[in-house]
Amino acid sequence: MIAEIIINTTAKRLQQTFSYTVPDGLAVRVGSRVLVPFGHRREEGIVVALHEQLDEPADFTLKPVEGLLSTQTGFQEEMIRTAIWIRDYYVCNLSEALRLFMIDKKGLVRQEILSVGPAAPVSPEGRQLQAYVADKGSREKGSLVRRFGRDLVETALARQVLTSRTYYKNQIADKMEDWLSFVHDDDEDILHGRRRQQELLQALKEKGEGAVSYWQGQGYSRDLMRRLCATGLARWSQRPARTTNILPTLSGDAPFTLTPEQRQAVKVIGSDEQGKTYVLHGITGSGKTEVYMQLASQVLKEGRQVVVLVPEIALTGQIVRRFLRRFGDDVVVMHSQLSQGEKRNNWLRMQNGTSHICIGARSAVFTAAQSIGLFIVDEAHDSSYKQDEAPRYHAVAVTRQRAAYYGCPVILGSATPALGDYYKALQGDYVLVELTERVGQRPLPSVQVVDMRDELARGNYRVVSDCLLNLLEETLAARQQAIILLNRRGFSTFVMCRKCGYVVKCDTCDVAMVYHRQAAHLRCHYCDAEKPVPTVCPSCGSKYIKFFGSGTEKVEQQLHELLPSARIIRLDQDTTSRKHSGDRIIEAFRRHEYDILLGTQMVAKGHDFPGVSAVGILSADSLLNIPAYWAGERTFQLLTQAAGRAGRGDIPGRVVMQTYAPDHYVIQCAARQDYRAFYDQEIQFRKELGYPPFQEMAKILVQDESEEQVWRKANDVAAALNSWNGDHGDEVAVIGPYEDVIKKIRNKYRLVLSLTGKDLTAIKKAMQRIPACWQTGVLIDVDPV
């Protein structure tokens, strides 16, 4: 057997695969992580393919694979295939793509251990070194190099004064958990008179098995469990522990009787046999989560696994809790705040099939599994599903790729589906399933659009319109809750001199700095740099330096002044930087410890707050002005999602949308919460201008510290692309280079080239013409959002 192996490193020159022979008796399979000799060293390799023999005979003898590393965290064949797809689709390295699936990103820890060798030292320093090693037993190479210098250590090794062995160690040991499982109840009579043990055995028989901690929660003592196991009717064992690490359960979540629409959705998706993609378009409050859960339980009954993706785990704790309550031990929750060991345990539980449901944000799409039966992407339109660093994958595209292997369905759930997904559903590539009514016949909220120009004309210069203020007063008087959305954090959005017009900008980015009042400094929202607040203009020295624009902090202060008795809590990046703080704020608001939840787009993330009857949207058009083809889509999604937080309980919802563009179709459609009307208009616009989904698209970002150089580089790239184009009948439209929305970030100038065409393969072929010498600082983004 010949193994085709890629070295686990992102070094460009090692991106090709290398061939090794597989010694008899070594259980190497596709996906194994193995130890291979490589040059003068040993490296970790990943087996990407196995062949009976080489395609062409090599003119040198192949070296053998030396051993298997970490049998547990190897890859499955499906993962290798998906990684290869990611490499080809998103134009990245294979090892970068493979690393997405790994939990120990750095690979296994390699240590070189030195001990005393057969030769005698010649120099005094050599004698000292050897004596030290002899005294200590063996020593890790790095520590000896630090103590004695590299030259001496290398010489000692070369002269066999010292010898070296390589160790690979896994950093993380599995955390174990006690489990209790049912064995049999044939001679149950032996439990005669022991009522509690009989009950436990019965419960075990019904549930099958469960963590000891679970049974303790059910009121059985460990002692009782031990005694039952002593009879042989049940078994006590240890398994890798599961970690959820989310705040404790707060309220009950009994299964519901489905509404007719929900039942229909479960029926259609549940009878999928071809592994199709379903766009579950359910208006806000239509009960999508219940549909997910009922479908998940069907999949579990077949012994297969479910992957559930949510936009941001810290803000979507509620859906996680619902799954935990219903499926208990079967759920693992993946999020960035888990320790390495916790991540590994969760990953292994999915890999071994101990758990059947994995919930997490974007990266959970790479979870290991035995056999996946369903992928669920909640709020599938959310932009957080696209990774904004290499490899720039989109989690929805990856789920579809993995699902194709398993032949299982994918659900893209949303009240505001991504335009491209909805288009594919109407075209018949995906299947459209709709939930058009809110659960319990609750009406959608009524929306009032307020023209802020009128407000100014009437002399109201506050951020809150009179109309919204009235609504808030009424809401508070009725002891109900309100949400206020403002998509800008900080206090004032920029600081400007009234006399000379100077705006305080970040030193390394081309953006205005934002005043944060609580922290009492100016901050750059792109690189997090801070500056003290100036008292005089740094440019002309005048005192007329003023704060302009308003962020969430300022609105919070104004609201305190306008509504002194209201209990207000703010939800934005500044208040959620600490672990679990987002979840805590959301849960405190749900318990009605606060009357008003004020924040950035975080307040619109699918939350279900039955107490909220009012929503205020302060500047509905702030996103509309971004010069990008998706600005309308994003705005519509945000407004509709925000409005949809109102009226999910017994009281009908009311929404005030403040805008400077009340007649804009995006605002109008969002006010009516009419997805279809928005879609029809927007898709027309995309078609006329040749934007996705009508054309394929890729973006090239060129960066350089010198402004001159960045233009030179970008123009060269453009020339290369155009020359390819010239040879291929202008298949690809190249636009640019033009300056990015933010011209400079962290001292690097940014230019963009955008490529569109009917065929993505052509776009990628054109990109291969980019001169190799320009590849540093040139980032490729396929399907940019």
Give the footprint of ligand ADP on this chain (CB under 6 A): 256-259, 262, 282, 284-290, 439, 606, 608
Binding status of residue 338 toward Zn ion by CB under 5 A? no
* DSSP symbol at 329: G
Q: Which does 290 bind (CB under 5 to 8 A by kind): Zn ion, ligand ADP, none?
A: ligand ADP
- Verify cis geometry, omega within 30 degrees of 0, for the bond prior to 532: no
Q: How far is the CB of 503 from Zn ion (least distance, A)?
A: 10
- Residue 74 or 360 with smaller CB distance to ligand ADP: 360
Longest dimension (CA), the chain: 95
> Any contact of residue 448 with Zn ion (CB under 5 A)?
no
Q: Name the residue among 389, 395, 361 with its Cα closest to residue 92.
A: 389
Sheet holding 139-140, edge to edge: 139-140, 109-116, 162-169
At 731, give phi and psi (nearest 5°): -70, -30
Q: Is 505 in the site for Zn ion (CB under 5 A)?
A: no
Q: C-beta of 290: minimal distance to ligand ADP in Å?
A: 4
Q: How far apart are CA 287 and CA 730, in angstroms?
A: 48
| 526 is a site residue for Zn ion (CB under 5 A) | yes
Least separation, in Å, of the C-beta of 674 and ligand ADP?
17
State the Rg of the chain over Cα. 30
Q: Which helix (H) or strand (E) holds 502?
A: none
Do residues 35 and 44 lie in contact, with contact meaning Cβ atoms separated by under 8 Å? yes
Q: Residue with structure tokens 């490296």? A: 43
| Residue 563 and residue 473 in contact, taking contact as beta carbons nearer than 8 Å | yes
Query: Applying CB under 5 A, which of residues 72, 245, 264, 539 lies at the interface with Zn ion?
Result: 539
Angle between helices 760-767 and 707-727 (to 10 degrees): 120
**Which of ligand ADP, Zn ion, none does residue 168 bind to, with CB < 5 to 8 Å depending on kind?**
none
Judged by CB under 5 A, which of 230, 540, 735, 742 binds Zn ion?
540
| Binding-site partner at residue 502 among ligand ADP, Zn ion, none, CB < 5 to 8 Å by type | Zn ion
Cβ-closest residue to ligand ADP? 287
Per partner kind, with CB cut-offs from 5 to 8 A, the member of Zn ion, ligand ADP, none near residue 537 is: Zn ion
**How many residues make contact with Zn ion (CB under 5 A)?**
14
Asked if the bond preceding 737 is cis, omega within 30° of 0, the reply is yes
Interacting positions 693-752 with Zn ion (CB under 5 A): none
x-marked contacts with Zn ion along 44-73 as a string, rule CB under 5 A: ------------------------------
One of 68, 224, 467, 527 touching Zn ion (CB under 5 A): 527
Q: Is 383 one of the binding residues for Zn ion (CB under 5 A)?
A: no
CB of 265 to ligand ADP, least distance (A): 11
- Nearest 10 degrees: CA dihedral of 55, 56, 59, 61? 20
d(CA 732, CA 764): 10
- Which residues, listed in sequence order, are joined to residue 264 by a DSSP beta bridge? none
Least distance (Å) from Zn ion to the CB of residue 542? Answer: 5
Q: Binding residue for Zn ion (CB under 5 A) from 338, 411, 537, 752?
A: 537
Distance of CA 172 to CAs 109, 590, 700, 725, 777, Å?
10, 38, 39, 51, 35
DSSP assignment string, 35-101: EEEETTEEEEEEEEEEESS-SS--SSPPPBP-EEE-STT---HHHHHHHHHHHHHHT--HHHHHHTT
For position 503 contacting Zn ion by CB under 5 A, the verdict is no
The residue (of 4 and 583) whose beta carbon lies closer to ligand ADP is 583
Mutual orientation of helices 665-672 and 675-689 as an angle, nearest 10°?
A: 150
408 annotated among ligand-binding-site residues: no
Residue 500 marked in a binding site: yes
User: Residue 18 is encoded by which pair of tokens?
Assistant: 């290398």
The strand order across the sheet containing 2-7 reads: 18-21, 2-7, 41-51, 33-38, 67-69
173 is a contact residue toward Zn ion (CB under 5 A): no
Residue 467 known to bind ligand = no
DSSP symbols for 217-253? HTT--HHHHHHHHHTTSEEEEEEEPP---SPPP-S--
- Residue 513 sits in the site that holds Zn ion (CB under 5 A): no
Q: Which amino acid is at 335?
A: H
Give the one entry of Zn ion, ligand ADP, none that residue 285 binds, where binding means its C-beta sits below a cut-off of 5 to 8 angstroms depending on kind.
ligand ADP
439 binds, among ligand ADP, Zn ion, none (CB under 5 to 8 A by kind): ligand ADP
Residue (291 or 471) nearer to ligand ADP, CB:
291
Q: Which is nearer to ligand ADP, 167 or 256 (CB)?
A: 256
Q: What angle do CA 401, 404, 405 make, to 5 degrees?
A: 95
Q: Min. distance of Cβ 56 from ligand ADP in angstroms?
A: 57
d(CA 750, CA 235): 62
Of 52-60, 92-100, 196-204, 501-509: span binding Zn ion (CB under 5 A): 501-509
Closest CA to 728 of 754, 688, 775, 762: 762
State the minimum distance, in angstroms, from the CB of residue 489 to Zn ion: 15
Residue number with CB closer to ligand ADP (73 or 262): 262
Instruction: Check binding of 530 to Zn ion (CB under 5 A).
Output: no
Closest CA to 231 of 289, 269, 272, 187: 187
| Shortest reach from residue 269's CB to ligand ADP, in Å | 15
- Examine residue 524 and tell whether it contacts Zn ion (CB under 5 A): yes
| Residue number with CB closer to ligand ADP (417 or 693) | 417
- Residue 496 lies near Zn ion (rule: CB under 5 A): no
Q: Decide which of ligand ADP, Zn ion, none touches 628; Cβ closer than 5 to 8 Å per partner kind.
A: none
Q: Binding of Zn ion at residue 502 (CB under 5 A)?
A: yes
Provide, rounded to whole angstroms, the least separation between the CB of residue 416 and ligand ADP.
11
* Residue range at the interface with Zn ion (CB under 5 A); choices 385-393, 424-432, 530-538, 646-654: 530-538
282 contact choice in Zn ion, ligand ADP, none (CB below 5 to 8 Å, kind-dependent)? ligand ADP
Long-range pairs, 718-725, Cβ under 8 A, ≥24: 718/753, 720/769, 720/770, 720/771, 721/753, 721/755, 721/766, 721/767, 721/769, 721/770, 723/769, 724/765, 724/766, 724/769, 725/766
Among 319, 509, 563, 620, contact with Zn ion (rule: CB under 5 A): 509
For residue 411, the minimal CB distance to ligand ADP (Å) is 12
Min separation Cβ 572 and Zn ion, Å:
18
Q: How far is the CB of 472 from ligand ADP (least distance, A)?
A: 24
Residue numbers at the binding site for Zn ion (CB under 5 A): 497, 499-500, 502, 506, 509, 524, 526-527, 529, 537, 539-540, 542
Binding-site residues from annotation for Zn(2+):
497, 500, 506, 509, 524, 527, 537, 540
Binding-site residues from annotation:
497, 500, 506, 509, 524, 527, 537, 540
